[in-house]
Structure 1
């Protein structure tokens, strides 16, 4: 029998190496079957009939080989080829042996010539009405396919070739001649989530499908509508992070895609992170911001978390169980139950329901019309631009720059709890309406820094009053009560956190109040000057001395034409700075 010497390059992947090793085993086994004389193919002993006795090991080997190759020369005489057919078969086997020897010496052109001649001879025998001959022919055809597969695997990693493309083309030409287990994965990987999860259909999954299409239909319809808004954004991030996009349905069953969704155990955001988990994943959770609420930041964090869990468990059903119950709890359950099959684990009731609920949601979400969801109220996808704000800035000011409402900016930036970018983080990414980034950045650049700082934070100390706090920051009690939604200004407590409106916001409030009362509101960039009236002064003389008009003096000081000025009066005017 020829010895097959196949050189396996060190850079082959595990799948290809395993496939080649398996092919060589099959070929070696095949040669052993067809080159052992019939008389010695069965183990015998002095006390046994040579035609009917086999050892247990031989029996198992023959059974395995016969199942794959379709012929077993070790069975009794009546199941063997006729002498004429055996002669033809031996001749064809000799051609295959020549091909095998050429392949062992890496002479692939000679190998292809031998295989081509062999295939031609097999095609000439296709009409022979003999079952055993047909089985023998199928055995040869499979061995030819195995040898061609070895050629494909060897050529795939030749210098200068594209292994993935070469393998895909080579195995496509074999056209189903090999079982799927011997074919390497080429091209786009098939997500394991399909095998781990989405093929399941059992009573636990069916119960959730019935609920979502029955009593829970209105809620699920709302979830589908929200998915139209944020689905494209979230799935694009999952795909960028290498996570199956079907896992968007995890956010669906966790929060219904609610940005500010909050559970009874204080899990927050579309992915329902607890604060310690979120911080461990790099999200900011503090008095100013909660990035669990931001669709972009939280989805990237969820992708990182899911990838880490998959590295631990290697099975998406266990990943979802760990997402819900915690990694350590699921590991303990696997250890206690001596199984890593999710469906056999003794999990808490909520977790035992979690995966079937996910599968049901994913199945309906993939084809909602099949379950009677018509999508009568389509929603527009969430789109926005993102800019870097380098100084603390209120969303109301950004809305003004964008020509939008403050409500729109708050909706785009649910993570900004205080309606302003944090003062202690330097640059911060803010979402603005689509196609407005350039406009906002240009308008924002013209606004002085003192107008941007619109908020600060104050922790109430023992003995403090709202009046004293307002006086300290130069604002009013009403201003603080308004932004903190305080119904009773006397009910503040030590360690309460208050948002204090600062110059930018106070400036706008002062302007509004002054204009409502008919008072003069100076343009930005002007400073106030004061003049004390002396005996003999006139309004025109004072205006000339201060460099303003009489009309300006009358308007700023609310002086009517019939009013008089007196020595000692203080008059005010506003002049451009510098």
Structure 2
């Protein structure tokens, strides 16, 4: 095991200054996905049950933690110190001998006076008082934890001072040879003492587990040497070097007698430990006033983590600085707490934040799932399956087909995925046809789209092109809607389903019906999945489509010898494309005896719908953007604003586009 040689000042902080709660993100100018994330985070946090216990925090402590200003200076200072160099300091040799004798009486270590130890103590008292004031504040957090681990293994509690020498009580300390953590374990030694190390976790930096491992190591070495001074020496240089020093010293087994035969850095290791113990025990006598830790170890607690979560997500949800999470959970290497099937990981938090976490655990994990669902993935399986099916369908098509080229002008809010779904092609095809390098739809550009059409169908398609053009609206089998002209204003907007949404709430939000939503999105039931994109037509367009609905009659045509789709289409005055759509035909081949469904429009019913439409419009008014009650009243002679309010039970003057007002007439 390679051990850091010198006491390094503690760069410590337990808690940072209070952080302002997450504010609402401005909607204007942001992308829909960012709006959704911010709104979802705020909606989660607004429902949190908060604990009334106040957190004691101080930003200066956090600066101490993240600052490495004294590390290099102290390392160089102690590395180059000469134990034989006299240091002038107001501490008499006799008084020092007396105090060392007092320490020896209550300690299992062999604490004896020697000039080198005196010089080191005086040097630190003269030059490093400020460093020890900061170290003693950090000790209030770590020492109770160390003492508990040492006591379990029946190891002297004074060993806790060794962590000051090893790492300056910095759990993230890493030596030049890779020794890591409070107790500076090397990789192989850490593995030997069951400290788990992988890409996410390094338990050498875990204060609890590393302290248990260090106590076990000390206990094992004591069974070999039977002397705690030699145990300390072996912790620094390894038991083999201590055994060599004993042999080279003629069998002597006292540290001070074999010290000259130990490695150079180990020669100053035990004196550094004893000097640290002395300064901690007699700091009052030397005017050292420790800084006070604002939050001590017993004011924190742990909670088991059931789903992988990042420090960033915890910081956003709990309003706790990431630096504070890093301090309290130093074993997590990449600021992520993973979840394994065979091992539980724990999160340490201040006591009040633990209460906040456990009171809202389900909501926190719901937000994590939402964040993970929004993460970009390399290639989704459903896209692969969809493209594969399209390739298979293309290969199975008859040879007598031709290609038609269509153009789609990209409008605001559209993306390649929505355009591809509209024309039943893949995103990869769109990019290939239009030489696009990214997945961004170029606003205002006309995209080229190729569609295959059967040769026998060409004439019929040309005759019926006005009815079929770009398939403005899908027709469901339960509710047939005519494909009469719908203006470009009917271009649908896309709505991403959020947590807590259902079809009813979405329909109310956009002033449409559930049936409309199901029809526009080819939905067989009312179930809707999170993050699904739904087509939403404007209220005016929805009304127009509903008013254009006509009754239809289904008849069955039995295919006889000599029939083909073009002949059947002409016979029933429909298009080949309609017959293919109604009967789910991918090609033009039909078998003799097959039964084809033909939908015939009832012109009488269509006239009745038109009459009802005229009547409905004379008795009601669909509110449009910019309308006001006074402007609407002027459209109907003899009707006043008061009449409209009375007939529609309106108390104020606010109108929303899409509202239908009753107009009873005069």
What's the TM-score once normalised by structure 2's chain length? 0.41
- Relative contact order higher in (CA < 8 Å, ≥ 6 apart): 2
Higher helix share: 1
